Amino acid sequence: MNVWEARWLRAFHLLYYACLALGLVLSSGEGTGESGVPGPLTLGIVALMAGWHGFFVARRSRLLGRLNPMAFHLAVVCALYIALVSLDRSFDVVVFGLMPQPYLMLPSPWSYVGAVATVLSTFAARGYLDDPGAVWRLAGSSGLVVAIGLFVDYVSRQSAQNRTVGVLEERARLAREIHDTLAQGLSGIITQLEAAEQAMPDLGAVQKRIALAKELARDNLREARRSVDALRPGPLSGAGPEAALAEVAARWSRTSGVAATVSVEGTPRPLPGEVQTTLLRAAQEGLSNAARHARAGRVAITLTYMDDEVTLDVFDDGAGFDPDAPGAGYGLAAMRERAGGVGGTLTVESAPGEGTALCLRIPSN
């Protein structure tokens, strides 16, 4: 049971007790003593209804939704309600606290049966069953209560589905974050360690590669901590996308040994945080692919501000690949999901031996 469900459950329990208290306030003392206050029998039934609900329903929330014993507890409360209203019609108000109880206590579809039984108990308490038109009134009241229950059940199902969708979206987001931080960082570290292994016994080259691997590990650790804390990517902290792209490209050039340039076209303007993150992640994905797969000699990143959109182009002169081939990689699929999340599109143009051009377009309005 989540926090909101627990709060609603508590609210309905409080409503039940509030209605009992209101009935005591409104009581005219019919069938009681001359003082005009409820008599011992009325007070006893009120106390029994309150105690029964508190002990067998409110304190046993783990049993809610089970037909047995909740059907028995509902029947007892309804019987006590009939007896109470028969003594004093002021306690008619208790029906407002009683009506939600079947939907709390019983599983579907028995909750609808319990709701109809509750309506029947109110008719019995008020003496309406002897009325020639009672059948139609009972049918109308029962239909209304069942319709309300169906609506509440529909809203509950939609809420559960939304929670499920939210969980799946959060898992996808975490998968993208892991790919964009941990996976890319570890891949870079492995590349540097492999280069160090190949450079042996040149001690200077080995030390340089190990130093780069340590730098990548530190950067990756900081980025992972920021992701855990749900903060923006490290390069974007206190910087715009232009400076962040330049920082990422410079770091990548230093570790890969491949020249990467960044150029900005158009007039820069403030962008939403999620858009900046998407642009940065796309650049990181393009650089990562260029280092791991393309064997590129040059990479060019272009950020373009236009009137109705902002675009990011990442071009490398590497080996290229077939973007329509099965298993093209999780990174591109994740980037398409991330781009779609901000209303953008990601296109990849590549062919074996012809390099790769990655283009991200995000509307600015």
Q: Give one DSSP letter per residue of 121-147, joined into a string.
A: HHHHHHTGGGSTTHHHHHHHHHHHHHH
Instruction: Identify which has the larger pLDDT, 178 or 86.
Output: 86
Most confident of 26-35, 219-228, 304-313, 315-324: 304-313
The span from the CA of 87 to the CA of 52, in Å, is 19
- Read off the pLDDT band of 293 (50, 70, 90): low
Tokens in use for 270? 């403030």
CA-CA distances (angstroms) from residue 203 to 196, 208, 209?
9, 9, 10
Tokens in use for 224? 């992972």
Structural contact between residues 244 and 236, judged by C-beta atoms closer than 8 angstroms: yes
- Read off the pLDDT band of 319 (50, 70, 90): confident
Return the amino acid letter for 180: D
pLDDT number for residue 238 = 57
- Read off the pLDDT band of 48 (50, 70, 90): very high
On whether the pTM is more than 0.85, the answer is no
